[in-house]
Structure 1
Amino acid sequence: MGSLGQREELQDEDKNSAFTWEVQANNRAYNSQLKEKVFLCWRRRKHKTNIICTAQYNFFSFLPLTLYEQFHHLSNLYFLLIIILQGIPDISTLPWFSLFTPMICLLFIRATRELVDDIGRHKSDRAVNDRPCQILMGKSFTWKKWKDLCVGDVICLHKDSIVPADTLLLASTEPSSLCYVETVDIDGESNLKFGQAPTITHQELTTVRNMASFQGTVTCEAPNSRLHHFVGCLEWNDKKYSLDIGNLLLRGCRIRNTDTCYGLVIYAGMNGGKIHLKRTKLDLMMNKLVVVVSCQQVPLPQEHRGGAGPGLPHDISAWVKRVRCVSK
């Protein structure tokens, strides 16, 4: 089993390392026309925008998604079933609202907490998307917002600025086009790391005019969540140059000890996959306990079964009594 798991991991790495991602510098029209197959004839844009969204809900999806998330807890489903049984007059001993009201209050409190947290996420996303950056538009750099950034754009970064997207370093003001970065917001390491531009771009892209006429094409691996691995190839003037992780500046790192550097956006937006809802071990254990308790309560007592078939009101009454006994 261990060897099988290692083989599958190697196959996934080989699949991710294939050069299926193509970016052409200073050519938004070409990059925007690239499509990828999703399902049957449904195709979508291959390159995403640089807009990030960590919020889980919007105005229309809040109520259904909140109910969906709340009833992922089997305990809520369990008490909902009890409330439905209490609504049957033949077996109910308490008013239905005596159980329904506390449950509604609990769901309301949880939904309010989720709403407050999600409003904070929307504000944080808006602040990040509205951060300024310099993008090469025509023959000069223009101040734009992060959300206006696209794959293939050439950007200019200054000291203490944050890298807005995964970027191929083209040149810098340091010797040999070195660029020192701080990655504490990515991996928690406070020591400075450095990246270096390819030799060919360091030698050729020395002016803004040269960068505006730069038409190189980068082919590399598709976006993935591996922070310390990158393989690619730069094709320019009918020649190919290899690229590695040392040439890449990751989104979120901060420029340090470097006055100015220039880069080509390779991946835009969030490059880590879908955000999954986290579950605590206590939630998982409670779900299992609810399933076990419910399975023990489902079988009806044999003394209430008749020859022609069970008497439904008596069987349900006995089942409700068993639920109360187990609850006590």
Structure 2
Amino acid sequence: MERFQWVRHRCRQLLAIDSERGWYSPPDGLPSKSSPQKVSARRRTVLARHGPHQEEYEAMSKKYKGNSICTTKYSLLTFIPMNLFQQFHRAANLYFLFLALLNWVPVVEAFEKEITMIPLLVVLTVIGIKDALEDYRRYLFDKKVNNNLVRVFCG
């Protein structure tokens, strides 16, 4: 209950329009001087989303990202390169790739060139499908979370 009181009080402070805009007074627990001190750091501009300053809000908000959640690793364009990059960080995959490349050298060729590539291709395909399904599940969960209805308590 105390948190809601603090949030309510803070919302009222932010929404209040007074002549001391840009001035700062430390909270009750901190020592303060007899008069408020001017903030020397960056200033923060708060604009209402709807109302007379809507164009200004839209111009300012283009610079910032939204608050949507995105936990996916890949996009459609980056799936194959990034997935292959991550899979070849595993020593077993590098070993099978080395064997497949070594088998293409005529002097060292032990058996058919194509047969050496089968284990590597099977492993890469299975892991790629698993990663794609996991990423798709993340995408669906992100979409669900980002489309939840929320209530904003203020004032």
Instruction: State TM-score, norm by structure 1.
Output: 0.31
Letter in 1 for 2:154: Y
Aligned to 1:262: 154
Deviations 1:183-211 (A, max 9, x none): xxxxxxxxxxxxxxxxxxxxxxxxxxxxx
Which structure carries more relative contact order (alpha carbon 8 Å, separation 6+)?
2
Instruction: Say if 2:48 is the partner of 1:26.
Output: yes
Shift of 1:65: 1.4
Instruction: Say if 2:19 is the partner of 1:127.
Output: no
Cα 1:73/1:29, change in 2 over 3 Å = farther
- Contact kept in structure 2, 1:24 and 1:30, CA below 8 Å: no
**What's the C-alpha RMSD, in Å, of the aligned pairs?**
2.7
Instruction: State TM-score, norm by structure 2.
Output: 0.60
Cα 1:70/1:262, change in 2 over 3 Å = same
Cα 1:65/1:19, change in 2 over 3 Å = farther
Cα 1:124/1:19, change in 2 over 3 Å = farther
Distance 1:117 1:19 in 2: 44
Aligned to 1:63: 80
Q: Show structure 1 runs of 5+ residues with no match.
A: 1-17, 36-43, 135-155, 157-260, 264-328
Distance 2:91 2:42 in 1: 42
Cα 1:19/1:114, change in 2 over 3 Å = farther
Q: Show structure 2 runs of 5+ residues with no match.
A: 1-39
4+ runs deviating over 6 angstroms: none
Shift of 1:123: 0.7
Count of aligned pairs: 112
Cα 1:127/1:81, change in 2 over 3 Å = same
Shift of 1:75: 3.6
1:128 is paired with a residue whose SS is helix
Aligned to 2:115: 98
Indicate the structure with greater helix content: 2
Distance 1:95 1:69 in 2: 28
59, 64, 79: which one aligns with 2:96: 79
Aligned-residue sequence identity (percent) comes to: 24
- Contact kept in structure 2, 1:51 and 1:129, CA below 8 Å: yes
Shift of 1:71: 1.4
Indicate the structure with greater strand content: 1
Distance 1:84 1:74 in 2: 15
Distance 1:51 1:75 in 2: 37
